[in-house]
Amino acid sequence: MMTWLKGITLMFGILSVFSGSILAVLGPGRKYDGYQVWRVVPSNAHQIKSLIRLETNFDGFDLLDFWREATPSSIGRPVDIMVPSSLRNNVHDILTSLDLDVTITIPDVGALVNGQMTEIQTRQVNEPVGTTALSDFDYARYHTYDEIQQWVSDIVSEYSDIASPFLLTTSYEGRPINGFRIRGRNSDASVTPPPAVWFEGGIHAREWISPATVMWFTGKLLQDYEDGDELAVNMFDNMDWYIVPSLNVDGYTYTWTNDRLWRKTRSDNFEGTNSGCVGTDPNRNFPFGWSGNGTSPFPCSNIYHGKSALSETEIDGVVEYLRSLKAGGQDFHVFMDWHSYGQYFLSPWSYSAYAPNPPDYDDMMLMGNAASDAIFDVHGTVFQSGSSIELLNEAAGSSKDWGYVPYDPTSKFKGGLGAKYSYTVELRDKGEYGFLLPENQIQPVGEEIYAGVRAIGDYILRELGFIV
């Protein structure tokens, strides 16, 4: 047996030994003391295949967490792995046997988590949120599920003539997932609905910067509209904008109460899987390409694709709601799923590294580049545009692939939304903090993405002929 394969096999055995005791030690709140994030940069196909196997073919508790994954096209691109102290030596031996150099990007994940949560808890005591008035909402802090839902309600109340609420669905644990549609006062929807944009945040629970950013730029654009800003008026008068700031609400709540780095939903996987693990990766649960490359059949994996396509009520809710709008004549021009981290505008495809670029690839690059240029002009932050398989990972059953493929009225398991421009947007940063971006970065992220969204609006309005 090859050395690297022996090492991985040995590690799987060690993981299975540790898995039961780890949960007992962690108790009700998971601790990350001594965990580190390591970065390796594969330079050949053999290294990539080994890293993929390490992530996807492990049926055990999620002790290794790939923050940035390996794909067949990952040569020369960083792969980030969170490693517990108990496995450092073993994992290091495996990586060095593959001739991979290890760089420590986060030396103590636990210290970072504890510092962030302590700061938030202290602030909550000393600086309570205050009234529910929208004017008091602090966009430069992270907010709980309840606060986000209150923000949705306040937006609808404050802008009642242009913002209409909708209940997307109810989560596995019974939480409402609320959103709203923005349709400007001068919108002409008398015959057919206007072309539409769909923005969803928080599909991965630990990516707190996603809901925070969606709320930031939405609030700013609404104020622009009220102030008579020409571009904002054109954006909202000529298109419908659907906003869901937090989609994976159960997982998000869990990151505040139990495990700051929880990623998945909170559905149980007990029946039929012989697993004690909870949750499915919601961004592997869409029907297009479901259970393919970049997913795992093991319920304990962070990229577990679920028992079936649309097994997660949150994802089924997205598909059902958008299909109902399509059936009513609404044409979606843009679908965007806001994530972190990496600073990318990622277009289809993600279901296979060997898939040819989609027909609208060149146009998607033009719009992604327009947004990236606008973002750079604010704080000098560099975003890249490209397909997921070019720049980041394989992810069969992803939202953006489903958002792009043509609509099929016969079944929700066939086709997708048919949006010409469908993206996953990965926000800051490049790995210094990863999923633990400090609150002091919310404002600069919000400012630069606000500029990017305005560029997207301008691009679409020109393409559709609303402005010249």
- Distance, in Å, from the CA atom of 368 to the CA atom of 390, rounded to the nearest integer, reads 14
Q: What is the helix (H) or strand (E) element at residue 332, kind and residue range?
A: strand 332-340
* Cα dihedral 279, 277, 252, 169 in deg (nearest 10): 30
Q: What is the per-residue pLDDT for 185?
A: 97
Q: What is the per-residue pLDDT for 144?
A: 97
Q: What is the helix (H) or strand (E) element at residue 218, kind and residue range?
A: helix 209-226
Q: What is the per-residue pLDDT for 68?
A: 95
Question: What angle in degrees, to the nearest 10, is found between the helix axes of 145-158 and 249-257?
Answer: 130
Residue 358 is classified by DSSP as: P
Active site residue 426: yes
Q: What is the per-residue pLDDT for 2?
A: 39
Q: What is the per-residue pLDDT for 73?
A: 82
Beta strand 176-182 with 103-106 is unpaired
- Distance, in Å, from the CA atom of 238 to the CA atom of 189, rounded to the nearest integer, reads 9
Residue 302 in contact with residue 281, Cβ under 8 Å? yes
Cα 200 off chain centre by: 9
Catalytic residue among 55, 207, 426, 448: 426
Q: Which of helix, strand or coil describes residue 349? A: coil
- Distance, in Å, from the CA atom of 44 to the CA atom of 40, rounded to the nearest integer, reads 12
Question: What angle in degrees, to the nearest 10, is found between the helix axes of 3-26 and 88-97?
Answer: 160
In the β-sheet with 384-387, what is the strand arrangement from edge to edge? 163-170, 176-182, 240-244, 196-201, 332-340, 421-427, 344-347, 384-387
Q: What is the per-residue pLDDT for 131?
A: 55
Closest to 291 (Cα-Cα) out of 303, 302, 300: 303
Q: What is the per-residue pLDDT for 56?
A: 74
Architecture of domain 134-258+286-464: 3-Layer(aba) Sandwich (3.40)
Q: What is the per-residue pLDDT for 220?
A: 99
Q: Which of helix, strand or coil describes residue 460? A: helix
Domain boundaries, the chain: 3-108, 134-258+286-464
Question: What CATH fold (topology level) applies to the domain 3-108?
Answer: Alpha-Beta Plaits (3.30.70)
Q: What is the helix (H) or strand (E) element at residue 241, kind and residue range?
A: strand 240-244
Ordered per-residue pLDDT tens for the chain, 468 residues? 334 444 444 444 444 333 333 332 233 489 999 999 999 999 999 999 999 888 876 544 457 899 999 888 889 999 999 999 999 999 999 999 999 999 999 999 999 999 999 999 888 888 766 556 798 899 999 999 999 999 999 999 999 999 999 999 999 999 999 999 999 999 987 768 999 999 999 999 999 999 999 999 999 999 999 999 999 999 999 999 999 999 999 999 999 999 999 999 999 987 766 667 899 999 999 999 999 999 999 898 999 999 999 999 999 999 999 999 999 999 999 999 999 999 999 999 999 999 999 999 999 999 999 999 999 999 999 999 999 999 999 999 999 999 999 999 999 999 999 999 999 999 999 999 999 999 999 999 999 999 999 999 999 999 999 998
Residue at 68: amino acid letter: R
Residue 268 is classified by DSSP as: B
- Distance, in Å, from the CA atom of 254 to the CA atom of 339, rounded to the nearest integer, reads 18
- Distance, in Å, from the CA atom of 116 to the CA atom of 123, rounded to the nearest integer, reads 11
Q: What is the per-residue pLDDT for 57?
A: 66
Residue 221 in contact with residue 215, Cβ under 8 Å? no
| Residues β-bridged to residue 385 | 345
| Residues β-bridged to residue 352 | none
